[in-house]
A and B are shown apart, each in its own frame.
Chain A
């Protein structure tokens, strides 16, 4: 299955497969979880990050049980404060 990933406002090393605009498409075998996908992106862990699947908020506690489907769009961003 193909999953579109959009990383918003991430800093640090750009994960393989993610372009300059923070976007990439990944092929996975069926059954890939959201937490599995996020782990593969090697995001920085010194701040939390939030995830949406098809625009819907997925709490961190539900990442393990969220099974991705072909065509899903995953958006990842930090919950920073504005100013």
Chain B
């Protein structure tokens, strides 16, 4: 079976490391990664705890397909209670780190308590050590941390997941960055790591993985690869990255612009893929250089980019005049249209700083946009910003905000509160484009009704990766049928995110393609039906966590702007999100009460009673 069968448990308060057998009954039920990590968290912490206190735990969980050779199978998730939302947090990342943790012989790593002093953790196969970070890497950037750990341990193969100063100082949307530019991005998981005084985890493994039925596994993974590789979505993601979504949302009128005051961006042509791939005047190079793949991935949606050497942001900063992790759709949306900025190099620089200092670019960009709206109405002034004109459209302000927030300086600390806390502090909570405290991804939900229901009901706050209503949303601006599409896709994704493969494989694979690979790797006679029911179980378990954390149906909502202010243009012109129509139907389909609580029958059916 492709679980390794053991986990690392680290008590940071006592400074102890323990190897523990994986709870196999739970693994067979919840698969791995998101499902299994959530089961452990749910069983081990009080969901009502302060997420930044030692009572919270931080779980790094791989899936059974991680590092098996299944295409895109290099994923891991970080599961904890999120300090941005106070809800369940589960942030999924690729790169190499998760695969190396698995190859070192571990399914999961659990951090509990709080270290009295800053530390980092090195996992080299069986050997797991807690080492002092003070006077070494504490206070350093994510990139410096990786370089310094590799140099000190004389192992260039170490894969490092680290926080930057944003995480150390507990910015609410701090993330954990691995392999320099892949991140467990959302909900502030990096702030939890900072609250525990853990700077980094470095992994190296060459133990390998085993599957239940080698022959069947080879057959299933080959068939899946043969389906994935020639697929149009793979070709698009490989050649253009997710960035190409920007032209789509702009054309449709669902591109959040100027903190969602607008839904189409006049400057879209300056920050789209075509602009990124066009050679610039100064040095003849394009912003977007090539693509990059995570472990065992034949898609390679990641980007490598360069910033114009003459751009103001990197003047006298030679460290950025090199190849950097490039823009994805979510980062370009948040750092450009959402802030009204039409400067591709400024967005690339801000995105690089998010990687370097460990910030979620979605929440960072949307928090800057909220601050820009506060500035626009005079709720904050030059006095608060320290003389910075925090205006919509200002590339200079965006770059300054990335530096100040990433290093926790001045007003940057306020931006690091996230849009919800920031706008509440300055008297305009209506400017926070958030659900459950988490900032919007790149879809305005007046033209995309189903996505609105998806945001409102997402267990980790506003998220584009928890439901998949895209096909129907781009065809019908209506409420009919959305509840079922959202519910079914939420369940499918919850199970998919528990396996160890990337969600983007789902552009080409059906559930049966994935289940064939999963069953060959772990055995047990998995069926598509059982897989989807497992997803439903995971979804309900997350919901139960949130209920215990104090969330109610009142939190399944959207910002007033989405519910009351009609979209000013695009396909959804004149429309608001009709959440109130879709939500009761959604609750009913889920087998929940009208107050959004799973009924006892639903819990018994799912084995959660």
Contact = CB atoms under 8 A, between A and B. Distances in A.
Contacts of B128: none
Contacts of A21: 274
A83 B301 contact: yes
B253 A55 contact: yes
B514 to A, nearest CB: 16
Interface string B329-350: 1100100000000000000000
A41 B230 CA distance: 20
A57 B476 contact: yes
A contact face: mostly helix, strand, loop, or mixed: loop
B330 A82 contact: yes
Contacts of B233: 47, 78, 80
Interface string A60-74: 100000000000000
B236 A78 contact: yes
Given A56-B571, A57-B474, A81-B470, A11 B329 contact: no
Contact of B248 (A9, A46, A48, A83): A9
Given A6-B251, A75-B251, A77-B251, A11 B475 contact: no
B232 A52 contact: no
B229 to A, nearest CB: 12
Given A82-B441, A83-B328, A50 B236 contact: no
Contacts of B464: 81-83
A1 interface: no
Given A9-B248, A21-B274, A47-B507, A79 B474 contact: yes
Given A44-B232, A50-B475, A82 B247 contact: no
Query: Which of B231, B244, B570 has the largest number of chain A CB atoms within 10 A?
Result: B244
A12 interface: yes
Interface string A20-58: 010000000000000000000000101110101001111
B507 A81 contact: yes
Contacts of B330: 82-83
A82 to B, nearest CB: 4
Interface string B238-259: 0110101101100111000000
Interface of A: 6, 8-9, 11-12, 21, 44, 46-48, 50, 52, 55-60, 75, 77-83
23 contacts: A8-B251, A11-B235, A12-B235, A46-B231, A48-B471, A50-B474, A52-B251, A52-B252, A55-B570, A57-B475, A58-B475, A78-B232, A78-B233, A78-B248, A80-B507, A81-B242, A81-B507, A82-B245, A82-B328, A82-B333, A82-B442, A83-B464, A83-B503
Given A46-B508, A80-B236, A82-B441, 11 more contacts: A21-B274, A44-B232, A48-B471, A50-B474, A60-B475, A78-B236, A78-B248, A80-B244, A80-B470, A81-B242, A83-B464
The 3 closest A-B pairs by CB, nearest first: A82-B329, A50-B474, A83-B242
